[in-house]
Structure formats: structure tokens, C-alpha cells
A and B are shown apart, each in its own frame.
Chain A
């Protein structure tokens, strides 16, 4: 039965369009090379024109049958595009997720945390220690693999005389999993193996060197107190360089290969979830759906692509629960990535997935996109100040991006509100870029330099001088938001400097920061209002709202998600009266509805200044039908 019959049929729309929401994975190493074309033609019959595949490193190295080249040629013959994930990803169904076994068994090349404990992958396909990519053994082997891979791409492209059907996806998602299971203190996150000692030392020697910096300034930021920030910056830099090096090596052998950068995550491999998934397998109980859901939300914030496998604890969910997670992935990350076998099971046109796909496709045609206008900046993709991040998250749930400073400097993006983590160390280049963003009409919120009496610094000296010069040229506006902030206005944007001293104090534990909670909420609400990025409506705890909007339209769509098994009464409170299309004909401040368990309800509403001015003039609701 072809997909055009019932699956994702969109009335008069071309069903082909909806398939852009899917990324279909094929484990080519599980299929005999002689059957590649048959399999790909079977996939093509479903209307799929692009497939993805992970490349198991160890399989490639030992592949006597040249499976990868045959797969590429078969894909070309089947007129399909191919996206290949080059670097190892957790959750791939291959022993050691494709990492060569001898690297795993070599103790010198294993990643360890700060306490010296080995870092493990504990999700399916099985438990194994993670290698350290800083190790010279691993690094050299990886280089050799990438060069050979590039050569295979070149051969394949030459034989089919085409190089545009294949894309190499470079990711460093594996490095985001270098956390021991359970909540881990930030100091312990990441690879602290002996192999990282020299690279880290080199990083420290270079990081704070600027034309204006003096040696005292450079040496100051090498102090152990800044280890947290420096480690995170180092990991972020290392990840970026690894991806760039991978692209360089591939293109050395295959110059015309298209390389793209992205990150992927299987929720089961998320360190926050993997221990629970493992225990659910041990005790033969259902894994925690809510934590998988939270992992999807976190992936959305980090800009990761979520993919699902069907051989881990995930298989124990019921169809309804799987549908809910698939739909959440579609809504939060804009895509659903799964194996062809699982895709084939999505045949019910009344399922939640089908309905979500239809809704998203309709919105795409109206040029709607996920509302994500805020950016949280940190040294890496793990925030340094949990209190600030959680408060920010609570107010903006799912509607912001968590970005490392490295990425931000390369590509600032379109976020209208940029918030800098209170524990960032700002260098002159970063300070300049942030102020430039404020000049461009954005609201940039960053910590002000710590006071002179404070023993530590959060600004490099040249950046402090820049700040002093900046202050002299402007008068701050008076705002009372609870964090001692100074607001400087540009033509369209704002630069908001807040007092971050409390976050730097030695005893800044969660308990010590408790009194700040109210101040933080007030502060974040204030900056959201200043940047006009407040959410149109909020709901009580227990249901989540995800907004889609178009820049040229007053209409917005909100998905109401209930990630629990019980029906919940959702009370949506609107900042200003809105008209809920198909429900209410007049503007209302709130809407109540029952949301069944594991259900997603899409709603459309209109909010615009025309409604507000008419309301203020006392016009009746009939004007807005």
C-alpha cells in the first residue's frame, strides 16, 4: 500500500511535501549488497526520496565487500539522495556503535571524568566505555578512517559521474554524552583523561591572548577557579575543531563532497535518561516516558536532531506512547528520524503522528516556523549557572536555543533576545560582537564586570576597558527588575548589563541562591517584555505549549502537549485578549480545556494591535469574527 493512499494524505496537497519532515535511516550493513537496489526501490515506492545512514567506523575499516560504495551506487540508481552520518553516534545498532573494538579495549584511550571514573555508554546496543577523541591513538585512527572514507566517496562519485546526491553529516553528538549517569556537577562533565592534559594546556595558553591583553591578565584566567569555564570552552572548541578537521580530511580526498554540520541524539542515550532506560531493561519495566520527552525538549533547545531506534528500551512503549514521542519530536525539532521499518508502521491516517504531520505541513505552507526568538549563551552547550538557566527555561520552555559562544560568534542567528550566562568570562571580541547585535535591534543581556573589590574577574581587561568606554557614551535607563541592571538603549535594540556577583560567590549553591528566585523571575520577565518576546499565553505546570508563527501574520498556532498519562485541565492564560479561531468568536483572556493523556492539541489564535485598540474603544466582539 503506497503512502499516497492514506498516510499523510493532505487532500489536494502533494503528499511528497510532508516527507521532508522525516529522515529515514537504513542500516545498510544489515543488508546484503546485492539487495541494496531492491531495498531502496521498496523505500522509493513509499515516496521517500532521501535516505540517511550511519557509517559504523569498524564496519567500514573491515568491509571487504565495499558495501558503502555499493550502497551509494544503488542509491544513485534508485534516484535517491543520501545523507551519511560520518562520526560515531550512540544508539546505532552495531557493536560498540561502530567504534573499533581495539580502541575501546585500550585503557590509554578511554575517556574518564574528573574523578577518574570511566565514562560509559549504557544504552543499547550494549554497555561499553567511551573512547577519548583527544587520545593520539584514537585521533590517528580517525584520520585514517576519514581519508579512506573520502577516497571511497570520490570513487563512487566518479563511477556514477555525479556528486550532488550525497551529503556528509558531521556531528559531535557523542561528545555531549561524556557525562556520568545521573545528575553530574558541571566540574565533572566531559572528558578529563590524560590525553586532554596537553591540549588543554595549549588551549589555556592561547585562549586569552589578544593584542591588548597583558601577561598578568592571561595568567589570571589560568587560575584553577576558572577551570569550569575554561573546561567548557575547551570542550566546545575541541568539538568544533574535530568537525572541521573531519570535513577537511574528507574533502582532501573528495573535494566535491557536500559537508554539513549538525548534532543528533537518541533520547535513550541522553545521560539524563540512559540509567533509567538500563534499569527498565534490568527489571523488565516500562521506561520513563516523561524523561524521554524532556530529552526531546532539551535536544530542541540545543538544536539537535532527535532520532529513535527500535532495539532499546524504547520498544517497550505502547503505540500511543510512541506516537506521542514521535509527535513531540516533530513539533519540537521539526523532524522525525527513524528507521524505515518503524516508518512503515505509521500507516494509520488517524494517528497522532499523521495529524501532527498534516498540521505542520499546513503551517509550512503558510510560512510558519517554530517560535524561537531567544538565545541562551554559554561557553558550551551546557549552561554554567543552573539556577539562571532553569529559570530562563521555565519562562521560555522550549522556545529558546542554547548556544555555545563559539557557535554564536560564527553565526549569531536571528534570536531577538540574547542572554549571556552569568558565569561567562567575556573577552573583547565577544563583547564587541554582543554590542553589535544590540545595535542591530536585538536585546542583549549580559553580566556587567564584577566590582573592583571582588577577588575574581569576569571580563578580560581589554573587555573591561571597552565596557568603561561604552558606559561613558550613554546614560542608562531606569528599570527595577531586581538584579541591579543597567539598560542602554539603541535605536531598535537594548544592551542590558546585570549584576552577576551573587553567582560568582563561593557559596553560591542552590540554597544560597533561593532568595534570588523571585528576583530572577522578575528580571527575565522584564527582559522578555523589553525585547517584546513574551509568550502570547502561558499554561499551568503539567501541560506544555509550543508556538508556531509567521512573521507576516497575526495568527499563531500553539500545540498543547500533555506528557502524562492522565487527562489534564489546561488553563491557557493570555497576556492580552486573543481570538481563538474555531472556538471563540470574541477575544478572551483565557481558555480552559481538557487535554487527554499523551495527547497533543493544536489551536490557532489571533492577536494583534487591531484587537487591542478596538477593545480599548469598547467595540463588541462581533467585529472580530
Chain B
């Protein structure tokens, strides 16, 4: 797979590998590169099969297509992967349940060089950086999302440290690439102490990928809570976590501070409202 579009990492980090959302309007596309085979929307709308194939590396097109058919997520399946999974699942004889389980497993994980499964849906981080804010951000920039797998109380212990990271590259407000960053030349001490070393991590990435970088740091348990929130609430939660010292961001200049200040005001107003209007 092209390093620039690491769908596996995107789905694992952003969506916590939760698979497609059930009961959400979904657009499914079956492709055999370079041919578009068939597609349908669970809303019942008829999908014109003449989309450009190869959408697996064009998240923006996938999202636009989903929007066209009033869907919230797009799933693209490669026919070769489907054929391989079908051949494999016949080993279960007449047990349809096990066959479907195997198909789910094969079609939702990456195998070898090419992923068989591309799931694109909305996320608060993608919505934010791809939204109006890009007008005041640089033309091209990276966003680092680092999820510390340790429980919060074990920070900054070395023994338990593990993390997942994802870099989202935006060009003129459009998500262009998404991949796991290369931290091989960064001392692991800096990663383990991201609360204090976040600026250094940011500088490292800016030197490594030659683009301005914005970063968000979470603990796994807090990240899961954020992902489960809807609309503006993830940012409110993030602001609260910042206040508690459980998350971090960089760079610390006026723009992020202004945004976070706005979120703090919203949080304050929410608390006041709860106090006076329980």
C-alpha cells in the first residue's frame, strides 16, 4: 500500500478499530482496480456505478460521494480480497455464521501490501481541521495525534509505555495523506514524556516532514471518551482534560490558545447552565 494512505492506522487510531457504525447510512463500493464494479447506499438511493475507481486512496472523494448519497460512512472493498476471502471461507462447510465471521475478519484488516478494506467516515478531528479553520492555518500542515496506551496514573513510567500515532497531512484544507509517523530517530524518552516534551516532538516532526505541525496528545482511555462524544463535545472534553493536565497540545501560540479559550468559555457556560438549570 502507498505509505501516504494507511487506512489501517487511520481506522485503528481515529475510530479505535470499531468497524463500520451499525445502522448508519452507509455507502458501499465494490472495486476491481481500475474498474468500478458496483455500489449501493443503504439509504436506498441508486448509486451511479460510474464513479472513478481507486477511491481507496482518495478520502476526500469517498467523503464527497458519501455526502452525495446522504451517507455518513463509505466502505470500499476490493474484489480480489473478496474473492480470496470467499475461497477461504468455504473451509467452514455449511456453517454460514463462521463463514461470515471469517469474511468480516478478512475484509476489515490489512493483509500483505494492500488493504482489502477502506472505511471512511466523519470524525471530530477531521471535521475540525478540514473545516473553516483551514482558512487561517497554513496552506499545508501536519496534524499529529498521539495516543498514549498507558493508563494515566502510570505516566511517565518507562516500563509500561506504548503509543499509537497518526499524522494527517492537510493541503488547502483537504486531507491529503494519513500515515504513522517515523519516530525512529527520536529518543523514546521524549515520547514517554510528551507532556513536557511536546514542543520537541513537534519540532522533530516539522524537521522530518518539512511542514508545520499541530499536535494533540491523549491517554487511551481519554481518547476513547472523546471519540464517543458527538458534535462539539469532544473539544469540550479535550479542554477539560487539558485543565486536568491529562492531555496536551502544541504549538502553544495564539491560535490554538484562542480556540481553547473559546472552548473553555463554552465549558464554563455549560457548567453554569447546569448549576442554574439542572
| Chain A contact residues, CB within 8 Å of chain B | 95-96, 101, 117-118, 120, 122, 124-129, 180-183, 272, 275-276, 278-291, 321, 563-566, 597-598
Contacts and interface: CB of A to CB of B under 8 A. Distances in A.
Contact of A126 (B79, B87, B99, B104): B99
Contacts of A118: 87
27 contacts: A117-B83, A124-B96, A125-B94, A126-B93, A127-B86, A127-B89, A127-B99, A128-B94, A181-B79, A182-B32, A182-B79, A275-B30, A276-B30, A276-B38, A280-B28, A283-B19, A283-B26, A283-B28, A285-B42, A287-B40, A288-B41, A289-B44, A290-B44, A290-B46, A564-B44, A564-B45, A564-B46
B157 to A, nearest CB: 40
Interface residues on B, range: 35 or more
A286 to B, nearest CB: 4
Interface of B: 19-20, 22, 26, 28, 30, 32, 35, 37-38, 40-46, 75, 77, 79, 82-83, 86-87, 89-90, 93-96, 99-100, 103-104, 107
Given A125-B96, A275-B30, A283 B75 contact: yes
B46 A126 contact: no
A543 B210 CA distance: 54
Nearest to B46: A290
B75 to A, nearest CB: 6
A324 to B, nearest CB: 10
A141 B88 CA distance: 27
Contacts of B107: 279, 282
**What secondary structure prevails in chain B residues at the interface with A?**
mixed
Contact of B28 (A101, A128, A276, A564): A276
Nearest to B94: A95
Contacts of A566: 45
A117 B32 CA distance: 16
A566 B87 CA distance: 38
A275 B38 contact: yes
Nearest to A321: B44
A549 to B, nearest CB: 29
Contact of B94 (A117, A126, A182, A565): A126
A114 B34 CA distance: 21
B42 A182 contact: no
Nearest to B44: A565
A278 B44 CA distance: 17
A381 to B, nearest CB: 21
Contacts of B104: 282-283
A533 to B, nearest CB: 28
A124 B97 CA distance: 11
Nearest to B82: A275
B38 A291 contact: yes
Given A117-B83, A278-B103, A127 B90 contact: yes
Contacts of A289: 44
B94 A129 contact: no
A555 B94 CA distance: 52
A120 B30 contact: no
Nearest to B27: A285
A283 B73 CA distance: 12
A543 to B, nearest CB: 12
A361 B75 CA distance: 44
Contacts of B26: 283, 285
Contacts of A101: 93-94
B233 to A, nearest CB: 26
Nearest to A291: B40
A286 B28 contact: no
A287 B38 CA distance: 12
B100 A281 contact: yes
Given A125-B96, A282-B103, A291-B40, 19 more contacts: A117-B83, A120-B90, A124-B96, A127-B99, A181-B83, A183-B37, A275-B37, A278-B103, A279-B28, A280-B42, A283-B26, A283-B75, A283-B104, A285-B26, A285-B42, A288-B41, A564-B45, A564-B46, A566-B45
A118 to B, nearest CB: 7
A440 to B, nearest CB: 41
A398 B195 CA distance: 68
A565 B43 contact: yes
B163 to A, nearest CB: 30
B178 to A, nearest CB: 22
B40 A290 contact: yes
Contacts of B43: 565
A281 B82 CA distance: 13
Contacts of A321: 44
Contacts of B32: 182
A269 to B, nearest CB: 14
A288 B79 contact: no
Contacts of A182: 30, 32, 37-38, 79
Contact of A282 (B38, B41, B45, B100): B100
> Which 5 A-B residue pairs are closest in the complex by CB-CB distance?
A288-B40, A565-B44, A95-B94, A126-B96, A182-B37
Contacts of A181: 79, 82-83
A99 to B, nearest CB: 11
Nearest to B37: A182
Nearest to A565: B44
A126 B83 CA distance: 15
